[in-house]
């Protein structure tokens, strides 16, 4: 089963997909999805959902893991700062449901654990796992985190078989 890792940063989604054998899939220009601008909120969300559904169908994705925002006691974001990210994450969940694709929201600790790390920044772990930069937009906090997430999803898939 092909898996998709998703990292949301404000109103941008970063995607990485992987084959069952661990090969990263070249998503072409579908590695990034921005919430459409210049539309009313409802229309923008509908377009974003349709775009995500297209990615899921085009790459025959069977599992989506979405990386949750990191919790840090020292850094507190206000509600309004998180709304765009939470909105985009919710659109991913609806798109996966519409396409009957398994969806899971995962914490950074889960990703680290599945990848065999007790601690460390996911950006650094992604660079260890994939030392050659995947351009464009390889880190920090962009496609690198989507790659770490999808590799963790693959690890769980392989263990369950």
pLDDT digit string (tens) for 136-148? Answer: 888 788 999 999 9
Contact yes or no for 56/5 (Cβ under 8 A):
no
Can you give the pTM of this predicted structure?
0.92
CB-based contacts of 109, cutoff 8 Å, min separation 6: none
How many residues does this entry show for the chain? 161
Mean pLDDT of 117-134: 89
Q: If pLDDT is split at 50, 70 and 90, which confidence band does 33 have?
A: very high
- What CATH number is given for 2-160 in this structure? 3.30.420.10
- Which ranges of 69-142 would DSSP assign to H, the alpha helix? 79-98, 108-114, 122-129
CA distance 126 to 148: 5
Residue 75 has what pLDDT? Answer: 60
What distance, in Å, lies between the first and last C-alpha atoms of the chain?
A: 11
Residue 74 has what pLDDT? Answer: 60
Residue 57 has what pLDDT? Answer: 98
> What is the number of H-type helices and E-type strands within the chain?
5, 6
Residue 71 has what pLDDT? Answer: 64
Mean pLDDT of 111-115: 96
Residue among 87, 85, 67 nearest 4 (CA):
67
Q: What phi, psi does 135 have (nearest 5°)?
A: -100, 155
More confident of the two residues 29 and 75: 29
Confidence check: pLDDT of 153 > 70: yes
Q: If pLDDT is split at 50, 70 and 90, which confidence band does 73 have?
A: low
Contact yes or no for 35/44 (Cβ under 8 A):
yes
Please report, for the chain, the start and end positions of each structural domain, with discontinuous segments joined by +.
Answer: 2-160
């Amino acid at each position: 089963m092909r898996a998709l890792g998703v990292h949301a940063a404000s109103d941008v989604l970063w995607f990485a997909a992987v084959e069952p054998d661990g090969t990263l899939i070249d998503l072409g220009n579908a590695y990034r999805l921005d919430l459409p601008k210049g539309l009313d909120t409802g229309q923008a969300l509908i377009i974003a959902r349709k775009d995500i559904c297209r990615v899921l169908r085009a790459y025959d994705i069977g599992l989506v893991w979405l990386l949750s925002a990191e919790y840090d006691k020292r850094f507190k974001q206000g509600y309004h700062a998180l709304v765009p990210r939470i909105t985009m994450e919710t659109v991913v969940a609806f798109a996966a449901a519409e396409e009957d694709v398994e969806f899971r929201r995962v914490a950074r600790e889960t990703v680290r654990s599945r990848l065999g790390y007790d601690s460390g920044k996911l950006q650094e772990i992604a660079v260890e796992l994939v030392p050659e930069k995947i351009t464009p937009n390889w880190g920090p906090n962009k496609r690198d985190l989507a790659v770490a997430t999808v590799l963790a999803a693959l690890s769980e898939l392989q263990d369950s078989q």
